[in-house]
């Protein structure tokens, strides 16, 4: 089946079988390998992308279901060569080691912070629960997200 998906503002067309997963279309046909594939059963969150602004598991969608829709992947986060504040915070707070889970965390939390700019402590931890990390022990990730949340709210990061 011929499909056309807008990813990060650019149209990507391709022929797919109905059983082709969206995650595989993104990686192998659109050539955007930033989106990672971990468990392929909706548990790990590594393949999280944004569908019309909402975070979704791309391994739990068929590519044909994204025909005509707008996707955003980790490649669409930075702008004009500048890292997104969330990406910068991950870097600064040592929120990654191997980095495999990072794109999923970023796409989940970018959507979450956009919708819940005032979220604090427990809410942030709850929002992080849909992504697994086997390296960091999460403390760096929590710190990074809290840091980015403050920055996105426009608060004084140093004083925060």
Residues that bind other proteins in the complex, under the rule CB under 8 A: 1, 15-21, 24-25, 28-29, 40-42, 45, 48, 51, 54-57, 59-62, 64-65, 108, 111-112, 126-127, 129-130
Least separation in angstroms between residue 124's CB and other proteins is: 12
The residue among 115, 107, 88, 130 whose CA lies nearest residue 7 is: 107
Least separation in angstroms between residue 128's CB and other proteins is: 9
CA distances from 63 to 40, 51, 66, 94, 146 (A): 14, 12, 5, 34, 34
* For other proteins, the closer CB: 45 or 140: 45
* For other proteins, the closer CB: 15 or 82: 15
Least separation in angstroms between residue 49's CB and other proteins is: 9
* For other proteins, the closer CB: 20 or 73: 20
According to DSSP, the residues that pair with 4 across neighbouring strands are 13
Q: Is 59 helix (H, G, I), strand (E, B) or coil?
A: helix
Q: What is the CA radius of gyration of the chain?
A: 16
């Amino acid at each position: 089946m011929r499909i056309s998906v807008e990813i990060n503002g650019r149209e990507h067309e391709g022929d797919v079988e109905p059983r082709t997963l969206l995650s595989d279309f993104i990686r192998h046909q659109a050539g955007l390998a930033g989106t990672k594939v971990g468990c392929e059963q909706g548990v790990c969150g590594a393949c999280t992308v944004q569908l019309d602004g909402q975070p979704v598991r791309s391994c739990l969608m068929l590519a044909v279901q994204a025909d005509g829709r707008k996707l955003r992947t980790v490649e669409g986060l930075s702008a004009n060569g500048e890292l997104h504040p969330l990406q910068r915070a991950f870097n600064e707070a040592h929120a990654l080691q191997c980095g495999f889970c990072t794109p999923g965390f970023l796409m989940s939390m970018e959507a979450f912070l956009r919708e819940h700019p005032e979220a604090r402590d427990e809410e942030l931890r709850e929002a992080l629960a849909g992504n697994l990390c086997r390296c960091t022990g999460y403390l760096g990730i929590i710190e990074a997200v809290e840091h980015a949340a403050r920055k996105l709210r426009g608060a004084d990061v140093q004083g925060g």
